[in-house]
Chain A
């Protein structure tokens, strides 16, 4: 079964750091571009980061540029999101998602994790 499983999020103080991971199974992880998408409470979806199959190039939304870093370890079938200098408006459910087509960029995402909640508060 094709599956994505995010690590447990948590409560972080403003200015703090957290690393999320997303374990992939059931498909050839190294062939797919991957993304992180977040959803603040009661709000819409926001594309946070994206990463090509080989690990470069990567892209980040302006709202997280310079604070978040997306990476992957294809030998471990795992996607990561390092989040530094966290702010209250980073509070959201974070989803990892897979590009629909292998060896292509992320124009749509057909497999999603269940999401993990990150709360930034003192």
Chain B
């Protein structure tokens, strides 16, 4: 099972909005509403910030939002803050392997 495709890096200035894409196939992203997003700061464990495409866990800022169109899911961070500088990984349920597949990861830089 190949990893989902994400851009290697995305950057933005404080206060701006950025969007990270996560491209898959009809066997994973496009076929199921089980896309999640994780934020990971260096040396730390991943943190769930979006599940089931667009739902936020309790305690996660509403500046994070998720969506999906066809085989591509997206994570948007609005009102970018310095603390948002981290790596972001998408994941999805997939029919071709269990339990699922992660994206390649995106480094977000706050300029």
The residues of A with any CB-CB pair to B shorter than 8 Å are: 35, 37, 44-47, 50, 59, 61-62, 95, 97, 100, 105-110, 112-115
Contact = CB atoms under 8 A, between A and B. Distances in A.
Interface string B69-95: 000000000000000000001010100
Interface residues of B, number: 25
A61 B99 CA distance: 8
A109 B93 CA distance: 12
Contact of B89 (A45, A62, A95, A105): A45
Which 5 pairs show the lowest CB-CB distances between chains A and B?
A59-B98, A50-B99, A108-B36, A108-B51, A112-B45
A95 B99 contact: no
Interface of B: 1, 3, 34, 36, 38, 40, 45-48, 51-52, 57, 89, 91, 93, 97-105
B57 A110 contact: yes
Nearest to B34: A107
Contact of A44 (B47, B48, B57, B89): B89
Given A62-B97, A100-B48, A100-B57, A107 B36 contact: yes
A63 to B, nearest CB: 10
Given A35-B99, A44-B104, A45-B38, A115 B45 contact: yes
B97 A44 contact: no
15 contacts: A44-B89, A44-B104, A45-B38, A45-B89, A45-B91, A47-B99, A61-B97, A62-B1, A100-B51, A106-B99, A106-B100, A107-B36, A107-B93, A107-B100, A110-B57
A106 B45 CA distance: 17
